[in-house]
Amino acid sequence: MNENVFNTVFLPLALFVIMLGMGLTLRLADFSRVFTYPKAALVGLFSQLILLPLVGFGLAWGFSLSPEFAVGLMLVALCPGGATSNLITHLAKADLALSITLTAFSSIITVFTIPILLGFSMEYFMGEAKMIAIPFVTTILKITAITILPVSIGMLIKGRFPRFAERVIGAVNIISMVFFVLVVIVAVAQDTENLLKSLVLIGLPLFILNVSMVLIGFLIARFLKIEFRQSLTISIETGIQNGALAIAIALGILENASMALPGATYGLMMFFTIIPVVIYGRMNG
């Protein structure tokens, strides 16, 4: 596939379908549900939106990653969970309602936090000489267009045509997974020369980021006496990130294939590392 066609047409379309599928699972009540269990929701958002970027920054700095890989790792840490975290929460028999609520809020909040923290990360790791300028307003609009807009359309369809939404959600989820795999494959293909090198350099810090945040999210929740199923949900939401969004921002906005490799690597890795969590949840659910 032509690189320009992939970045400008296929990638936004794929992410649109993925986020549309997430919207088909959301209701306006999911946003008000945060008041039903505010403690769990606040701990979940704190873990995902504050602790995760901090740990990601520490790993990027501690492993002395190249500027592009460091920014790519930070991009992964700044993205919300997406529909994948909801699916895994369901498989683990955790609190799906809390998962959907956290996904809904984090998806909106990260529209604004990603441009700010990504700009800081690029300035720190790349320096002014190599830094890619990120137009703040334009970036917010682009992220909104590929995340909030399709989610809103999905929510509108679910609200107006609930039976239709229930019939198509299964097919949309399958198409979303196919799109995600294709996005990862093509993103990796755009920088095959650095693929093996990137796996060696970023594989370990990404693995540590994923596993440590799954554990940290769970342990903090349990320490604060949040019940088991909600603690497991917070663990999943903290460890599962929207790899497709990270790739889309790296290729579509930053136009840097190397920065997309951490998102592609993490997006595949997390499906394997999260298996013990799913088994643990099903055994204790």
Domain boundaries, the chain: 3-279
All residues at 6 or more sequence positions from 131 whose CB lies less than 8 Å from its CB, including other chains? 122, 123
Residue (of 177, 176, 58) closest to 124 by Cα position = 58
Read off the pLDDT of residues 124-180 as tens digits, 9 standing for 90 and up.
998 764 556 667 677 788 888 878 888 889 889 988 888 898 888 888 878 888 877
Q: Mean pLDDT over all residues of the chain?
A: 84
Residue (of 56, 52, 32) closest to 44 by Cα position = 52
How many Å apart are CA 116 and CA 100, to the nearest integer?
25
How many Å apart are CA 207 and CA 245, to the nearest integer?
19
Residue (of 239, 183, 233) closest to 211 by Cα position = 239
Q: What is the pLDDT of residue 129?
A: 46
Q: What is the pLDDT of residue 207?
A: 94
**Single pTM value for the model:** 0.85
Read off the pLDDT of residues 167-177 as tens digits, 9 standing for 90 and up.
888 888 788 88
How many Å apart are CA 122 and CA 222, to the nearest integer?
35
**Token pair for 284:** 């204790």
Read off the pLDDT of residues 188-240 as tens digits, 9 standing for 90 and up.
666 666 666 667 788 899 999 999 999 999 999 999 999 999 999 999 999 98
- State the average pLDDT over residues 92-116: 87
Question: Residue 242: pLDDT band by 50, 70, 90 thresholds?
Answer: confident
* CATH topology assigned to domain 3-279: Na+/H+ antiporter like fold (1.20.1530)
